[in-house]
Amino acid sequence: MSSLVEVDDLTVQYPVGRTMNVVAVNAVSISLDAGSVLGLVGESGCGKSSLGRAIAGIRPPASGRIRVDGRELGDSRRRSDARLVQMVFQDPSSALNPKLTIGSMITELLLVHGLVPDRAAARSRAEELMTSVELPASALDRRPDALSGGQRQRVGIARALALEPKVLIADEAVAALDTIVKASIVALLARLRNELGLSILFISHDLGVVKQLCDEIAVMYLGRIVERRRTQDLFSSPRHPYTAALLAARPRIGQRLDISTPPALAGDPPSPMDLGEGCAFASRCPRVQDECREVSPPRILGADQQAVSCHFPLTAG
Amino acid sequence: MTNSLLRVDDLRVAVRSRGSLGDVVHGVSFELAQGEILGIVGESGSGKSLTLRAVCDLLPEGVERTGGSVDVHLPRASTGSTAHGYLGRGMAMVFQEPMTSLNPTMRIGDLVTIGPRSAGTMTKAQARERSLELLRDVGVPDPERRMKSWPHELSGGLRQRVMIAMALATEPSILLCDEPTTALDVSVQDQILRVLMSMTSTRGLSMILVTHDLAVVSQMCDRVLVMKSGLVVESGTTADILHSPKQDYTKSLIEAVS
Amino acid sequence: MSIESMDPERLASDGRSPRRVDPMLVTGLAIVLGILLIGLLAPVISPHDPIAQDLRNRLASPSGEHLLGTDLLGRDVFSRLLHAARIDIPLAVVATVIPAVIGVLLGIASGFFERWSDSLVMRSADVVQAFPVYIFLVALVFLLGPGARSFIVASAFISWVGYARLVRAEVLRLKERDFIVAARAAGLGRLRVLRRHLLPNAMPQVWAYMASDAVLALVALASLSFLSLGVQPPTPEWGRMVADGVDRIRVEWWLSVAPGVLIVIVGIGFSLVAYGIERQVQRT
């Protein structure tokens, strides 16, 4: 049984200076089933955004393969590929063209892709899209500066949905929003997922948000996936020490900070250009052994059951 | 009453645009007791940051305090000039964005004690010693080497530690923190909040912590002010606010993160 | 009540000020277009034929008959002033628009497509900019022969550089913005993204630059004509009129001052337009 999204051995690099490259995504394999929501979490520099952008066709990978709905997606995307994967961006103030009305932006997409026969039909479809993201039809005649951050983000979702993609990639789609608005957008995504059977790759640094929306969660650290579990399992019994640290580091309501205990995770991540052999987390892992420094832990592959990439994972309990 | 360091009464702040003044803070009152950590929580546009800045007289261009009073009763008199109001003389601020708040053309060692040195209260040698000591206190690893680093060479977490060290260099009684961990990863936030907590308790400081994150408030603060649209919607001890919120707005804030 | 938290359906109220046009922009346009209009109407409203000589009535003082007197060849100064408006302003505009078009196109090629087109365009720009402007201008006109046409050609050759650099910078900046990335990711072709998404966002800066460039073009034209390299006699042109009156500046000072003042006023007009556009853009 194949998944909707299959990523094999994907590597994404960025040039640094003239001669060097920093590896943002390190030979990652990941898969997403139709109709499910996968959370991709990690801290800055873990590569989650780069992975998302590579799948969306925004940034070509250095190597590896991406398949969506059985079709292989190459480095340069064809127009029809846009109907497979679409992205919702983080920053509501730069994700929309300030000079275009919402309506003209959406109708352009619909017409260019031949999804509607004429302008009237395009307008009507655009109105449907506005309704599905809980915005009034009159929003179509406004420019982005007339909308609030949350409203703009809804427009961003509508734009992504206009092409009826199989997969939606939300790249920190709620990170820039206020708390209450954040919750409403997450609720919207949950609703859309239920009504449209949408598959979503939800990239976020915020574990709390991910918990509400996602069926499964994959945790990334320095370009690798270190754990992938069902949401409840991840939160109740994380197996990778990094995941455990991340969960412990979250501030929780009702808990006073106890400074007599050490921080959940000490120090800073090593430079991504400086990674040697062995586990990327070895330098900060509380359970590190010699083997960790010398041998890379087994990778989590796209569709297999190996859920944690660690030599000495935490056991349940 | 007797040991309150700061008493703010009916504070009003307005923004000047095109000749007229528009109110953004409509009368905020609170007190800060000795050794207390007070949280001010609210969404963007609630006026929480401006309230903090009005207290230490650090309002941006075009924004002014239009009413109310700020009474400061510091336990020890601080000398030296430079300051904006009480900044540098009893109050110190920790900003949100470590990327832009540190002068990129100065080395870390010089940055930490820039306050006392420009106030003329330290010699160069004393400043160096003090910088080293402060960097150690805030947990910067390998401080001797780090003294010579430039800001851009440091990670976000390290920069924030440096900023805290800078604030402590002026020997404040009150630490004002404006979203100090908002721009940081969660594991780094955990580290920095611990530094703030331990610095305030070992030095007997008081702190006002402005944040949009209720969970941070829950971890750090003794009392909380909930602000919305320039007004204090609700205030009380952290436990009261979180467990038995009275106002709808407070309830919706709590619900959104639960 | 925050609109956000209550109802996503409520859009920002139109309590915000409607799109007002910046007063400086309006003033500047009024000046330039006003004087241009007068110039265009000159054949109808001008009291005398601007090139008709009356050698018996040379250097006459201002009077009812000749509002600004007559010049060295007995021509009515006022009429010449009016007619010159239909020469100077349109020429300044053309000498601005042509380099703008060239510069914008090259800037786009440079910024959007990058690689070799970027290097080619930028190095050419460096070469052109290395020469002192006026000397280059004079040399080119000298080579091509004096006259309005040569002036246009020479301007085109020199002035495109500013636009190219400006547009290139804007394009590079805008290329990475999410809405451009989103447009490409949505399967829109490069040319379409360029035309409909990038360019409209880059143009405001260009308009402002054009308006201030027009001032320079006007002054350059006047200067060239002053040096007898621009518009050729007997066609009236302000710069030329200034030159003609220089020898008589002690007595019939108005012969040089009047056209000079007009150059300044129109120059201010263009500058106000430029400044006004910038302020207008900042507001929206």
Using the Cβ of A195 and the Cβ atoms of chain B, whether some distance falls under 8 Å is answered with: no
Strand order in the sheet with B174-178: B91-94, B174-178, B206-211, B37-41, B223-228, B231-237
Summarize pLDDT for B185-236 with one digit per residue, the tens: 999 999 999 999 999 999 999 999 999 999 999 999 999 999 999 999 999 9
Interface partners of chain A (CB pairs < 8 Å, 3 or more) are B, C
- ipTM (interface predicted TM): 0.88
pTM of the entire structure? 0.85
- How many angstroms separate the most distant Cα atoms in chain B? 56
- List the structure tokens of A144: 């982005």
Q: What is the per-residue pLDDT for A316?
A: 61
Contact criterion met (CB < 8 Å) for C2 and B252: no
Summarize pLDDT for A144-165 with one digit per residue, the tens: 989 999 999 999 999 999 999 9
Give me the mean pLDDT over the B28-41 stretch: 94
- Chain C: give the shortest CA distance to residue A89, in Å: 7
Which pLDDT band holds residue B13 (cuts at 50, 70, 90)? very high
Per-residue tens of pLDDT for chain C, all 284 residues: 233 434 555 565 443 445 678 888 899 999 999 999 999 988 888 888 888 888 888 888 888 888 888 888 888 888 899 999 998 899 999 999 999 999 999 998 888 887 888 888 889 899 888 888 888 888 888 888 888 888 888 888 889 999 999 999 999 999 889 999 999 999 998 889 988 898 888 888 898 889 888 988 988 888 888 888 888 888 888 988 888 888 888 888 888 899 999 999 999 999 898 888 888 877 65
The DSSP annotation for A98-117 comes to TTS-HHHHHHHHHHHTT-SS
Written as one letter, the residue type at B137 is: D
pLDDT exceeds cutoff 60 at B2: no
Residue extents of the structural domains in chain C: 21-44+72-283
- List the structure tokens of C199: 């360019």
- List the structure tokens of C245: 């009156």
Q: How many CA atoms lie within 13 A of C174 on its CB side?
A: 29
Q: What is the DSSP letter of C52?
A: -
Domains of chain A, CATH where assigned: 1-34+42-78+204-251+262-317 (3.40.50.300)
Rounded Cα distance between A137 and A129, Å, is 9
Interface test mutation site (partner C, options A87, A99, A134, A177, max chain C beta carbons within 10 A)? A99
Q: What is the per-residue pLDDT for A57?
A: 92
C21-44+72-283 CATH fold = MetI-like fold (1.10.3720)
Interface test mutation site (partner B, options C2, C3, C4, C7, max chain B beta carbons within 10 A)? C2
| Cβ neighbours for A209, distance < 8 A, ≥ 6 positions apart | A174, A182, A186
Summarize pLDDT for C171-193 with one digit per residue, the tens: 999 988 999 999 999 999 888 99
B-chain CB neighbours of A267 within 8 Å are: 141
Q: Are C109 and C171 in contact (CB under 8 A)?
A: no
Question: Tokens 């603060």 map to which residue?
Answer: B221
Interface partners of chain B (CB pairs < 8 Å, 3 or more) are A, C
Which pLDDT band holds residue A306 (cuts at 50, 70, 90)? low
Angle, vertex CA A173, rays to CA A171 and CA A179, nearest 5? 145
Q: How many CA atoms lie within 13 A of C102 on its CB side?
A: 19
Strand order in the sheet with B20-33: B20-33, B4-17, B63-72
Summarize pLDDT for A5-47 with one digit per residue, the tens: 999 999 999 988 888 889 999 999 999 999 999 999 999 889 9
